Structure 1
């Protein structure tokens, strides 16, 4: 955060002196990066807080919120770069290539250092990945600025500055959309990509001889690393309830690495299933069906 914020000041000054959009775009990006890195740090600290009576799952979701905010900030930056680049393509200003090159090289070194620091962290953590994408955008911006400066020094062709800014913006937009959509999916309690709830309802009874059927399956993520599931299971007659819960938990842990599993055992005449597909199915299990309204 300190490295990024400190160099951002130098880039702003350099862009004003040289007139480079690539430097100014990178400086604007680094400004939000400093804020995003601060947000990521605060989120990482809050995540370590223990659960309490009001936050029974703790503060793990803070990192997902931070990643979502960082992704939105990146998309806003991309929009601004696109607008400014198109405006400059119509009337390219003069850019001082030598000064631009010197500042861009220093920026590249700083961004490589920051990228290496973050890359050595937990790459499965969506919060760190969000911060890493910001820094990757900075790194691409520095590379674009270097390339633009070299072209300007060799040929004097000024449109290269906004053109390379457009290229960097397109690369940033792709990653920003991915991190934003993924974090939004988690916040909306969406099922992880590697788990199909409907298929799970089919697979568990076929894989486990003790289980007659499974329904009311709900799968979501607290964070990308912490998958959670609740389900209702109907074991076959004579199967011990604790044994049924144990075999289901072992199956889910082995095949899907699910950390938090809640299994409700049902032994009833029939139940109406409303699963992830919104459909209904009647399970008949043990004994005659009661008339409607009967206990």
Structure 2
């Protein structure tokens, strides 16, 4: 059963000259996507710097991993490959998302970064599963591992990943792509720590299965990061409300504002990282100042929920007559299956 909210305010005499308002209003022209003022050009420079570090080290790590016969090093290189791919996807997506809206793409290509983030998440899940299988095989039948090579390469990887993490930490992490790349490199840093420990154990004790155990740690981190990306991008593609927002709370708050009778068809969704939209059908009490109420509701939404892209359709209550609005038939103005908020005080 849908929650219903109405205002407790008593109707007042109709005001003259009020008009039906259906507004699509990005309030105050607030920017989307760059929450702390980092420019897109600066983001690209930070991403390219991190990418150069990762690619150079990854190539060397594959060679050393083959020489040392270390699955942990090769799995680390695979993780770094996905990190590099995520940064490349982010760079391409940033370029596509910056294109202006045209033709049938009325929002432009702003969801390109969500597509790339989801692709990166799938890649992480696949690689994580492969490395889990290979690690299980090596736990049963472990090969000889050169612990000295493993330890030296892992310590170098820690330094490289610290530099790459620092570079990405300066970019705009409100973007799902940038944040995803940052988390991947951070996870890779933890993986190198595990690999270094494995190399030290092999050197000092001869326990070669430590390499496979470190590989399992790397694989679990990859699976965790991949699932997180799939979950977040899936919410966006399914047009779910951002996890930090509760539509019912927003609907109740809007319905409780002066001059508002009911709120129907409230929808909150995220087009892409940092670009949240809201639409609602608002029924007003007779005699309300439609323009003033619309502006007040938009200010409330922006101030309390940081949503700057709102579409509010205003009407008088169904069956009630108000100059400037006329009579409204609920069947034509509201989706009978959509959210419908009414205060119990009414």
What TM-score do the two structures reach when normalised by structure 1?
Answer: 0.89
Q: Deviations over 1:114-164 (max 9, x none)?
A: 111111111211010111222223222211211111001110001111112
2:151 is the alignment partner of 1:101: yes
Provide the residue aligned with 1:271 in structure 2.
330
Does the aligned pair in 2 maintain the 1:97–1:149 contact within 8 Å? yes
2:86 is the alignment partner of 1:36: yes
Provide the residue aligned with 2:252 in structure 1.
202
- Residue 247 (structure 1) aligned to one of 296, 308, 315: 296
Q: Deviations over 1:68-127 (max 9, x none)?
A: 111111111111110111010001110011112111122221111111111111121101
User: Which aligned segments of 4 or more residues in structure 1 are displaced greater than 6 angstroms?
Assistant: 279-282
Provide the residue aligned with 1:2 in structure 2.
52
In structure 2, what is the Cα distance between the partners aligned to 1:104 and 1:201? 53
Does the aligned pair in 1 maintain the 2:124–2:225 contact within 8 Å? no
Higher relative contact order, chain-length normalized (CA < 8 Å, sep 6+)? 2
Taking only aligned residues, the RMSD between alpha carbons, in angstroms, comes to 2.0
Does the aligned pair in 2 maintain the 1:70–1:131 contact within 8 Å? no
Cα distance, 1:34 vs. partner?
A: 2.1
Does the aligned pair in 1 maintain the 2:266–2:281 contact within 8 Å? yes
Gaps of 5+ in 2: 1-50, 320-328
Distance 1:173 1:211, change over 3 A: same
Gaps of 5+ in 1: 283-295
Provide the residue aligned with 1:56 in structure 2.
106
Provide the residue aligned with 2:205 in structure 1.
155
Q: Following superposition of structure 1 onto structure 2, how do residues 20-169 of structure 1 map, counting pairs within 5 Å? A: 20-169=70-219
- Residue 216 (structure 1) aligned to one of 246, 265, 290: 265
Distance 1:219 1:57, change over 3 A: same
Does the aligned pair in 2 maintain the 1:22–1:144 contact within 8 Å? no
Which is richer in helix?
1
In structure 2, what is the Cα distance between the partners aligned to 1:8 and 1:146? 16
Does the aligned pair in 1 maintain the 2:242–2:269 contact within 8 Å? yes
Provide the residue aligned with 2:279 in structure 1.
230
In structure 2, what is the Cα distance between the partners aligned to 1:92 and 1:75? 24
In structure 2, what is the Cα distance between the partners aligned to 1:69 and 1:140? 23
Range moving further from structure 2, 90-99 or 48-57: 48-57
In structure 1, what is the Cα distance between the partners aligned to 2:123 and 2:301? 37
Distance 1:175 1:266, change over 3 A: same
Distance 1:34 1:279, change over 3 A: closer
* Number of equivalenced pairs: 281
2:225 is the alignment partner of 1:190: no
- Residue 65 (structure 2) aligned to one of 12, 15, 24: 15
In structure 2, what is the Cα distance between the partners aligned to 1:24 and 1:11? 7
In structure 2, what is the Cα distance between the partners aligned to 1:164 and 1:73? 20
